[in-house]
Amino acid sequence: MALLQIAEPGLSAAPHQHRLAVGIDLGTTNSLVATVRSGSAVCLPDAQGRNGLPSVVRYLSDGAVDVGHDALKAQKIDPLNTISSAKRLIGRSLDDIARDQLPYRFGHGDAVVTLATRQGDKTPIEVSAEILRALRQRAEDSLGGELTGAVITVPAYFDDAQRQATKDAARLAGINVLRLLNEPTAAAIAYGLDNRAEGTFAVYDLGGGTFDVSILQLSQGLFEVKATGGNSALGGDDFDHRLFCHLLSQCGLSQLNEQDHQLLLGLARAAKESLTTDESATIQATLSDGRDVSATIRREEFHNLTQHLVAKTLEPIKQALKDAGVGKAGIQGVILVGGATRMPHIRQAVTTFFGQTPLTNLNPDEVVALGAAMQANVLAGNKSADEWLLLDVTPLSLGLETYGGLAEKVIPRNSTLPTARAQEFTTFKDGQTAMTIHVVQGERELVADCRSLAKFTLRGIPPMVAGAARIRVTFQVDADGLLSVSAREQTTGVQAQIEVKPSYGLDDDTITRMLKDSMQHAQDDAQARARAEAAIEAQGLLEAVQAALALDGDLLDEAERQNIDQALADTAQQLAHGDADTIRQAVQALGQATDTFAARRMNRNIQRVLQGKNIEELES
């Protein structure tokens, strides 16, 4: 059965009309742009026939900007004004990055990363926009017209800030973003459609700055992501830096200036690439102070130096398989994506882990751009030879803070995108007229162990007794993985909403730690949540009893009052220092101590209602 042709609103192509849409792989090291021609996805080359565009931008003294190969050539002589690997900085704060590993001068922003150049401070968004602008120009020159839009790929583990920053860069470059597409998913589209593949596949994507793994089910044109995992701060750059540090140690070097730092880092990258095919690589250079550097690195030595980085890619794979409910034996094939997967010890590790040779019949450097182009062709409304449907997922749970510092999950991780879910909440205090909505991200039970994304306030709640108000909170995650949250008080209709745009991204290990901690601390979290829930019940009962005593304490004799006061003190003591069980026991004892008092209060209230009324009035 053929699937429906789906286009973005307003982009359905008229008969015989072909809209110009492209897929863009905005990479850490290299970027590509691709399109669909005659039913096949192809990468668009530059005037010299080169598909890849180095993700490097140089700011010149005359106000001009070089992008790509020319900028890369100048990086060794002008490192402070030549920016590479901007993707590792986009959507992040200064606290999230290892500044000592980067040969740049950083600006003085409080949160957003800025890089000082001769043309002033530049954000990673602006640097990325220059790369995207160059790719857009290449596409329009090649296709002979203005682009309708583009699908731009991002790492599956990019958070809201990083995704939004990527869209902002595209906007600066004059590109209409049809969709942000996860890189492993784009690769699976290209592989699945090219090979008519069906079954469950794992996509292992190790690029220049990020690592992702996704488990996908491919069946008759349906691409369904079952689970995703990864590390948004692990990539080929880390292998380069490890070899660079080894070179410094071997040659007794330290305190390099920016030019020498960039020179040796570039030579380390070249040596790494050479060791993919050669057993050894020689590094030779003359530093700016005249010192000569010479070293020979053997492949086995490099593998030993970086084996811990390879091992860091295996943990997210195990978690993704567990989340997808699939064993290694259930994987029909492993698709390698990203230039860093060319390293022999990466391929050997993947082969050993899955017990099968990975699939490499598509160029790992180009497969993401090709898949993005196929998705762009569908979203632009063009007819294609294969009709298919894509179902992607969100990588981390989204929720909000409830009373007692508890994290209530609204959208669990690995939920299919786009998605919208709602839950009803209520007030905790009598007469409460406002509520702060605190949106969090993570897998732990307590807000303190999750990542804060945004806060906003719903005002205008009618004053009611605690628990009477009905506030419906709705979470919506679009196909790009971007979140918006709204809150509505049901009786009055007052509402507030926010598009979640944090000013910084998750730090290097936060996402991996969130998932690992959620498993390691599951029992502790359950106990903490149980205590928090018991504490909320105890606090509510304490306040209710104290309020009742203030109104009707005269109904008690001295011994009864002392008994209740003692139960109140015991409950307060356990609330401060006890665990969930002792708090519940204290609550139960306080309830028993106040049973008689509650009955007398009920009788008094009934008498107040009946006082001064005759039988006829009551019957009417």
The residues annotated as belonging to the active site are: 25, 87, 183, 205
- The CA distance from 350 to 328, in Å, is 11
The residues that bridge with 224 in the sheet, in sequence order, are 217, 391
Angle at 583 between CA 565 and CA 401, to 5 degrees: 115
Place of tokens 């590790």: 349
| Residue 462, preceding peptide bond in cis (omega within 30° of 0) | no
Q: Which two tokens stand for residue 198?
A: 């069906």
| Among the listed residues 333, 342, 334, the one whose alpha carbon sits nearest the alpha carbon of residue 365 | 342
Amino acid, res. 438: H
Place of tokens 């020979």: 296
| Among the listed residues 8, 414, 419, 354, the one whose alpha carbon sits nearest the alpha carbon of residue 224 | 414
User: Side by side, which strands form the sheet with 495-499?
Assistant: 419-425, 471-477, 483-489, 495-499
Q: Which two tokens stand for residue 413?
A: 């991780």
Q: Cα separations (Å) of 358 from 83, 189, 234, 615?
A: 34, 17, 21, 88
In contact, 33 and 23? CB cutoff 8 Å: yes
- The CA distance from 450 to 410, in Å, is 14
3-state secondary structure of 414: coil
Amino acid, res. 162: Q
- The CA distance from 62 to 93, in Å, is 30
- Sorted by sequence, the CB contacts under 8 Å of residue 419 that are 6+ apart come out as 394, 411, 476, 477
